[in-house]
Structures are given as structure tokens and as C-alpha cells.
Amino acid sequence: QQPVQSPQAVILREGEDAVINCSSSKALYSVHWYRQKHGEAPVFLMILLKGGEQKGHEKISASFNEKKQQSSLYLTASQLSYSGTYFCGTEYGGATNKLIFGTGTLLAVQP
């Protein structure tokens, strides 16, 4: 059930852009995005709901394509503070409120 994230890791220089993808084999009800800095707990970034919406958070935005069962996280003009591991969390609806997280994407932003 665990969604698959790609790429597994990415290295950027400050100011560069990145895209992180989250793909599910099951129909998605909604998608969460979280960032975990080294040695810290994951922290919530945003939720995307059915309807193909796109949301933004500072220079970080995301899209949700229900038909493709996929979400993408866009990081523009990356900053050193964006470094960390990004996780998508997926909800499938039905009779359960489970929140299932993906395999994670390690993002390293260098000066």
C-alpha cells in the first residue's frame, strides 16, 4: 500500500528548482506532504484534496492528479533551509482513516 516517491535523493544548489513525485497503486482520497530535518520529527507542509487542487506554502507548492493517482511537490528557488527528507502521506478513504507514508525523498541544498 505504501506510495512510491521519486527521486530517492536529489542534490541542488541554492536557487535551483526540484520536483518530488508521489505515486500510488490505489485511488487516493487526499495527499499530505511533510518535511523531516535531520534528527527532528516530520513537520506538516500541506494537504491536497480530491479535485486536482494545487496549493502553495512559501516557495513550495504541490499538485494532486486523482486520475493518475499521483501528487507532485514543487520547490522553487531552493534555500538551504529546504534540506531534509520529504514524505508524502496518502489517505485512501473507505472505512479507514489510515495515513500511509511514502518511501521518502532526501533533498540536500548546497551553497
| Only segment of 10-18, 26-34, 54-62, 68-76 that touches other proteins (CB under 8 A) | 26-34
- The full DSSP string for 37-69 is -TTS--EEEEEEETTT-EEEETTEEEEEETTTT
User: Which part of the chain contacts other proteins (CB under 8 A), choosing from 12-20, 63-71, 76-84, 91-99?
Assistant: 91-99
Among 28, 87, 107, 109, binds other proteins (CB under 8 A): 87
- How distant, in Å, are the alpha carbons of 28, 33, 76, 104 from that of 51? 11, 17, 24, 24
**What is the distance, to the nearest Å, from the Cα of residue 78 to the centroid of all Cα atoms in its chain?**
15
Nearer to other proteins, 16 or 101 (CB): 101
Q: How far is the CB of 72 from other proteins (least distance, A)?
A: 17
Q: Which of 44, 59, 68, 110 touches other proteins (CB under 8 A)?
A: 44
